[in-house]
Structure 1
Amino acid sequence: MSWRWEYDPSEEYVIGGAPPAFVAEVEKKADELIRAAEALYLDGSLFQGENPRSEHVRLPGGMFVFLLIPRYECGYVLQVTYL
């Protein structure tokens, strides 16, 4: 399995008309979070215990909510807020 991230429930629903430059920053930060998770959980499929809590990630111009599920080796962008 390979670590990845995705929008939940869909990109269109989560992005909700945010400017492309801000979306690019969200996706860049999500990539960084997944690389960090991959280093922390070397084999996420073997992870046992409670999942980490979702986190609010602040960026210039807004924020997003990110949830990591180590067993699935996947992160989810749940909400994007553009100010």
Structure 2
Amino acid sequence: MTWAWEYEPDEPYVTEGAPPVLIAQVEDRAAELVRAAEALYLHGETYEGISPQGGTALVANGMFVYQIVPRHERVYILQITAW
């Protein structure tokens, strides 16, 4: 398995009502989070610790909530908020 990001529970649910420019910003930042998590958790599938706390990330037109799960080698995007 390789590190990636995805929407949880799915893209239509998480992105509903968000403008396309915000979605693009969220996806760019999610890719950055994936690269950071991949460097921090080199052996993600065999990680035995507690998953890190979720976080929020600010982008130019809003914010999003995410969760990193090393054993899944995933960054899950849980919620997007526009302003």
Once the two structures are aligned, what percentage of the paired residues are identical?
49
User: Counterparts of 1:49 and 1:36 in 2: how far apart (Å)?
Assistant: 17
The 4+ residue runs of structure 1 with deviation greater than 2 A are none
Gapped regions of structure 1 (runs ≥ 5):
none
TM (norm. structure 1) is: 0.96
Q: Normalising by structure 2, what TM-score?
A: 0.96
Amino acid corresponding to residue 58 of structure 1 in structure 2? L
Could you say what the CA RMSD is over the residues aligned between the two structures, in angstroms?
A: 0.7
Structure 2 partner of 1:69: 69
Give the paired residue count.
Answer: 83
Structure 1 counterpart SS, 2:66: strand
* Aligned-partner Cα distance in 1 for 2:73–2:50: 14
- Unpaired runs of at least 5, structure 2: none
Partner AA of 1:50 in structure 2 = I
